[in-house]
Amino acid sequence: MSNKTAKLLSLLDGQPVIPVIKIADVKDAVPLARALARGGLPAIEITLRTDAALDSIRRVAAEVEEAVVGAGTILNARQFDEAAKAGSRFIVSPGLTREVIAAASGSDVPLLPGVITPGEIMAAAEAGLDFLKFFPAEQAGGAAFLKSLASPFGGIHFCPTGGIGANNAKDYLGLPNVICVGGSWVAPDEMVKAGDWAGIEALAREASKLRKK
């Protein structure tokens, strides 16, 4: 296990589900992060898919001490640097490129890069990355495909994301090479827009019980 993998695992601290959230209005960032943390999911990934994303990361990093905020949908070195400066404690990318690997190698912020194919996994391993995001999980073959990777890639572990919800998360968490899963079902857009923090806290509490077997 690499030092950065160990650091990333310490940040996630055994959390079975990493909320993958999209924030359209920065005012929702702090109450959303607090609701998820109260429900037992303090580590969250705020995706850079909206104009409010970086400001949301800044707010959560500054105001929600109990949260471990990360940035997702990082596509290049510039975004990596912006997210790290905003206070992200971990970075998640949907794929793996030399530019993103280089940005991560020069930073103390650990990277969770996305992969699908054996070739991408081997490229990640060559770069010293042994904890990877399997994305998009369901569309790329699901739990059965990921299970088939356990034997040839014994030292590699995954956080599958994409198409995962309360109905199938256990299928992934039961695999020996899966550490956690990522999903947006714990913070649905309509509940965020409605400010239903109690409802989101309840969803997070249920998700936090999905421990690995």
Please confirm, yes or no, whether 133 is among the known catalytic residues: yes
Catalytic residue, candidates 27, 66, 82, 133: 133
Residue 45 a catalytic site member? yes
Residue 96, both tokens: 């793996």
> What HEC string does the chain produce?
CCHHHHHHHHHHCCCCEEEEECCCCHHHHHHHHHHHHHCCCCEEEEECCCCCHHHHHHHHHHHCCCCEEEEECCCCHHHHHHHHHHCCCCEEECCCCHHHHHHHHCCCCCEEEEECCHHHHHHHHHCCCCEEEECCCCCCCHHHHHHHCCCCCCCCEEEEECCCCCCCHHHHHCCCCECCEEECCCCCHHHHHHCCHHHHHHHHHHHHCCCCC
Selected catalytic residue, list 45, 126, 147, 212: 45
Q: Which residues are catalytic?
A: 45, 133
